[in-house]
Structure 1
C-alpha cells in the first residue's frame, strides 16, 4: 500500500534510494498524487526481460505530511521544529 510506504518514508532519513519493483510502484503513485518528490531513473537492462529502475525519494511534500497526520500514527511536530526545518529525524 502506498500510504504505508509513505509512513515508512516518514521514519527514514531522506534522501533514500528505492530499488525493489513493488516499492518503485509505490513511489510512482506517491509522486503522481503529489505526496512526495522523487526521481525515477531507468537503468540499462541486465537481461533480455529484466527492466531495472531505481528511484530516489528526496522529500515528503506538505500534502504528504498532511496525509500522514490524517493517519494519526505519526507524532505531531510544529512546523518550526527541527524535523520540518531541516528534514531530520528526531529521536
Structure 2
C-alpha cells in the first residue's frame, strides 16, 4: 500500500511540475510573440517537423519506446507476478 501512495504523490508532483513550470516560464519570457522573436533571432525552428526530419527519425523515435519494458523498475514489476491470474494486482 505504501508503494501505491508513493506512486500517487510522485504523480501529483510530476503533474504540477509539468503544468506550472511551463506557465511560469511562458510568463517570464514575455509570451508567444517574444518566444517567436527569440527563435527567429537564433535561427531555431518551432516546427514539429523541421528540415531534414525524415521517416527514419520518426521510426527511431517510436522504436525507442520498445526498450521501456527492459528497464529495471519495469522488470521488477513483471518479476513480482506469481501466476497469470495475479497480473492485474502486480
Same-fold call, TM cutoff 0.5 = no
Q: TM-score, normalised by structure 1?
A: 0.21
Larger helix proportion of the pair: 2
Structure ranking higher on relative contact order (CA contacts 8 Å, 6+ apart):
1
Larger strand proportion of the pair: 1
**Higher radius of gyration, 1 or 2:** 2
